[in-house]
Amino acid sequence: MLRSIRLGGALALLAAAAAWPARATPLARALPQGAPAASPAIPRLLVYGGDLTIVEQIAPVGLAAGRNSVRLDFVRGNADVASLEVVPLDRPGEVKVAALFRRDDLGNTTFVELDAAKSGPERLRLRYAARGLAAGVAYSAAFDAASGTLDLLQDLEISNGSGESFAQADVRAVFGVVRTVPSTAVLHGRAPDPDPNAPPGLPTPPLVQDLAEHTVVPFGPPLALPDGVTVRRRALEKRALPTTLEWRWDAGAWGGRVWRVAKVANGPGSALGAITLQPGSLFLVEREAGATERFVRSGGLGPLVPGQELELDLGPTPELSVERTVVDLQRGDLVFGDYNKALVSYSETETVKLVLDNRAAAPRALTVIERVATPSFELAASSAPATRKDQVTLEWKVEVAAASKLELTYTVKKTNLHP
Amino acid sequence: MSHHHRRSSARTASVAASVAASIAVALAGAFAPAAAAQAPVRPDGEGFVEVVVPTTPQGVTLRLTSDQPANVATTRAVSLAQGRNRLRFDWSRERIDEGSLRFEVAPANGTANVVQREKIHRRGAMTYFDVEAASDGPATLTTRYLLAGIGWRVAYTGLLDAAGATLSLVGTVEVSNRSGQELVDARVVFDGGEIAALSLAQGERREVELFRIDGIPLQRRYRSDPARHGGTPAIEIELANRAGTPLARPFLPAGRIRLLAPQEDGRPGLLGEDVLPATPLNSTAKLYVGHARDLVVERQVLHQGNENEQRDRWNKVVAYDHRTKLAWKLRNGGDTPATLLLVERPGVPFEVVGASHAASKTALDTVEVEVVLPPGGMLDASLEWLRRNLW
């Protein structure tokens, strides 16, 4: 008995709304493995990074007792038919998939051969990989300088360039790194020729650290997703998040200007609420007194895990400036070789003056970061306590009084230098 | 065959009706005021109400910064129907950054929320926003986006008084529009100023006066820096943007400044031009506007030589000290005292070992000697430095 199903074509599937989780959930909970659970009446799209989408559809068929053949036609779209998986849902003990049969002259068409103990209706769950769909998150953040709060909005965007139109689809974006293997990788006789220049031994697969850390962001109620359409919906909206501000200066960052950093707590009980933020693009503005918004910067945000503080660079501020001057440099400790009297090593003593100018009407706690050109140095003198953050980085945390200047001077002795 | 023919005829009729409707809408749009709120149009079978958004917004605010595209906020009045409304925007002519597009809706009555935004790629730059409205009624739409092609620059003109002690400063801003968008009564805000209403069509530029401030005190000094300015002393004017003084602007954006000074006939002549750096409140800007011809600096190298040479096994010098002595003869041909900074750059490292006047090491390789020259007077100055452990 032959049944025919067209996938990506005129397959009639009923739309139905379902209950939707409000936030991202771990993949293991979102997709229970094993026996099929409540079957969606509309196609479900799991959109991964790296041009991979898992399409899941339910197709009802009527089976006769004995061997049945169901013809699946992938008439459009970039479906990977080699990844097709067919699972009978209603009578798993009575209906078994005997084989998936394909012919070269019929292209992607697949015949599902089913053995049924009794005749009757049966629903088949079809799952296959497709290319051409993409999902991404975009953040827009607005820092309100007057209230010291941050609005953080997350939009989820899905773009369908697969060639296949979905009248209704349940779309979820999966964020994380998923390793895939081409379906022909271990097909004997079709494997690529071995690389004559390859190193000896078996190739080592790349190590991926966060395989267990996928998160799913549902797109919300089912949507129509025709081919060639991009749809964007709000996935997260957090208003008036309390922030703490810091001021930092590093000669090598932001063109040597003082910049502000807004920090938002993301622990349990915080306004952000210990959430996971998927990596995505960022559009950051600052709300000003005159009801205008100043564009600060674009860039990226995330990933952010629960408990990790959200940190946003708010760009340079004109209310603070640092003038850096190397005021002195002297050489000493010249060492000459015993045999040829040539110069072997020397030391340099360098004195740097930083004038921290606070033009604001309130005191500012400024973090000053300085990088010394060599790791072999010692801090000989400093007008304020310094912390050596790593081999070449010194850090000061100083408070500059309102509308005043503060002079920070330090001397480093660089040793064991070579001409 | 006949069935197919009937379907084909029905489709043709539907297309014709659609084209006719489009033409009617286009004609209505052409004759109606562009900014007027349009009534919702309910198409058949799509499940939403399509709202044609007015082409020209009621309010436009541009926030300009020095290194980013303009951040634009536009407001439009529309009529929403209860249920799903689809708002269509056409940004095919404007140079907008679609990734930056944000959208807010504020109904006069009830609530409305943006359900989703859709872009149909074959329809070019059309973007659709779906809004779910709780009730019929007017609403204000705010769209925000980055717009490329809006340029702005600030220029200053300063007129010194006869004594050269104070300055009258005029600041202007020029805005140019190559964005593809027609600006009508747009509020333009930038670092350090604002234009309340600016109308600017595509390809136009307009210059507007920002401020005019008199009696700004300034300091004038002279720098003799052969490495930077050549043999004649340069005129340096220091301008302070400070609270409590006439010039107390929140921020002076960087821009060309042209300084004028009265000539012998009382009419202003050009003293010189420079670029005023971005100057926040409570900071100063130094301007280099030209050279002084009434100050003469004669520089002489009295001594230059090596000392304390260290030699290796083959008698080759591997390390040494280097001493330099300089002398200046300075003349002031003017009738006012002049503060002159003699700038030398010995190299790194160096230390000052002697000077006739106050000498200070202002940078790693720079030393400055400050000399005050009396009117019509002459003065000698000297400086000596030593560079140790060279090779």
Burial of B301 (0-12, 13-18, 19+ CB in 10 A): exposed
Burial label, A118 (beta-carbon count in 10 A; 0-12, 13-18, 19+): exposed
Separation CA A330–CA B155 (nearest Å) = 44
Residue B104 has pLDDT above 50, yes or no: yes
- For domain B295-390, give the CATH number: 2.60.40
Average pLDDT, rounded, for chain B: 85
Q: Which chain B residues contact residue A297 at CB under 8 A?
A: 68
Q: Is B254 helix (H, G, I), strand (E, B) or coil?
A: coil
Radius of gyration of chain B (CA): 34
Amino acid at A149: T
In angstroms, what separates the C-alpha of A134 from chain B's closest C-alpha?
A: 14
ipTM comes to: 0.71
Report the pLDDT value the prediction gives residue B148, as an integer from 0 to 100.
94
CA distances from A64 to A69, A71, A101, A327, A344 (A): 10, 15, 19, 93, 93
Distance CA B288, CA B272 (A): 8
Q: Tell me, what's the pLDDT at A207? A: 36
In what helix (H) or strand (E) does residue A399 lie, and over which residues does it extend?
A: strand A393-400
Helices (H) and strands (E) in chain A, counts: 1, 27
Whole-Å CA distances, B349 to B77, B89, B123, B389: 69, 65, 67, 8
Instruction: Evaluate whether the domain defined by B22-147 bears CATH number 2.60.40.
Output: yes
A131 burial type by CB count under 10 A (0-12 exposed, 13-18 middle, 19+ buried): middle
Residues contacting B24, CB < 8 A, separation 6+: none
Spatial separation of the C-alpha atoms in residues A48 and A174, rounded to whole Å: 5
Query: How far apart, in whole angstroms, are the C-alpha atoms of residue A48 and residue A131?
Result: 10
Residue A413 CA to residue A376 CA, distance in Å, equals 9
Q: What is the CA radius of gyration of chain A?
A: 31
Distance from the Cα of A403 to chain B's closest Cα (Å) equals: 8
pLDDT above 70 for A188: no
A295 near B CB under 8 A: yes
Mean predicted confidence (pLDDT) in B62-71: 91
| Contact indicator for B155, B254 with CB cutoff of 8 Å | no
Last residue of some domain: A95, A115, A133?
A133
The length of chain B, given as a count of residues:
391
Residue A91 is assigned to a structural domain of this protein: yes
| Option in B63, B69, B119 nearest A292 (CB) | B63
CATH of the domain at A348: 2.60.40
Please report whether residue A248 resides in a domain.
no
- Side by side, the strands of the sheet bearing B193-200 are B96-107, B137-147, B70-80, B59-64, B183-190, B193-200
Choose one of A81, A113, A133: the last residue of a domain: A133
Higher pLDDT, A85 or B122: A85
CA within 13 Å, CB half, A327? 15
Helix (H, G, I), strand (E, B) or coil at B28: helix
Q: Does residue B349 have a cis bond before it (omega within 30 degrees)?
A: yes
User: A232–B116: do the CB atoms touch at under 8 Å?
Assistant: yes
**Could you tell me the residue range of the domain that residue A406 belongs to?**
320-417
State the Cα–Cα distance between residues B228 and B121, nearest whole angstrom: 57
Q: What is the pLDDT of residues A96-117, one digit of tens each?
A: 988 888 887 887 888 899 999 9
Are B389 and A403 within 8 A, CB to CB? no
Distances (CA, A) of A336 to A340, A343, B193: 8, 4, 63
Residue A346 near chain B (CB below 8 Å):
yes
Number of compact structural domains in chain A: 2
Lowest mean pLDDT among A346-355, A364-373, B118-127, B218-227: B118-127
Q: Which of A269-273, B115-119, B133-137 has the lowest mean pLDDT?
A: B115-119
The mean pLDDT of B8-32, rounded to a whole number, is: 42
On whether residue A402 sits in a domain, the answer given is yes
Of B63, B118, B351, the CB nearest to A231: B118
| Maximum Cα interatomic distance, chain A, rounded to a whole number of Å | 102
Q: A366 in a domain, yes or no?
A: yes
pLDDT value for A341 = 86
Is the pLDDT at B323 greater than 70? The verdict is yes
- Domain boundary among the residues A118, A133, A148 is at A133
Interface test with A, best of B318, B352, B362 (most A CBs within 10 A): B318
Is A321 in the B-facing interface, judged by CB distances under 8 Å?
yes
A301 domain residue, yes or no: no
Q: Is A384 on the interface with B (CB under 8 A)?
A: no
pLDDT for A304 equals 85
Question: What confidence category does residue B292 fall into, taking pLDDT thresholds of 50, 70 and 90?
Answer: confident
pLDDT tens, B237-267? 999 999 899 999 989 999 999 999 888 888 8
What pLDDT does residue A192 have? 52
Number of Cβ within 10 Å of residue A282's Cβ equals 19
B4 Cβ under 8 Å from any chain A Cβ = no
Would you say residue A270 lies in a domain? no
Confidence category of residue B359, pLDDT binned at 50, 70, 90: very high
Query: Tokens for A341?
Result: 């009297």
The Cα A392–Cα A396 span in angstroms is 14
Report, as an integer, the average pLDDT of A379-387.
95
A44 backbone φψ class: left, alpha, beta (φ>0; ψ -120 to 50): beta
Region B36-65 average pLDDT: 69
Residue of A232, A288, A294 with shortest CB distance to B117:
A232
- pLDDT for A105 equals 83
Contact of B146 with B71, CB cutoff 8 Å: yes
What average pLDDT score do residues B277-304 get? 90
Task: Locate CATH 2.60.40 in chain B.
Answer: 22-147, 295-390
Structure tokens given for A132: 């051409």
Mean predicted confidence (pLDDT) in B13-23: 43
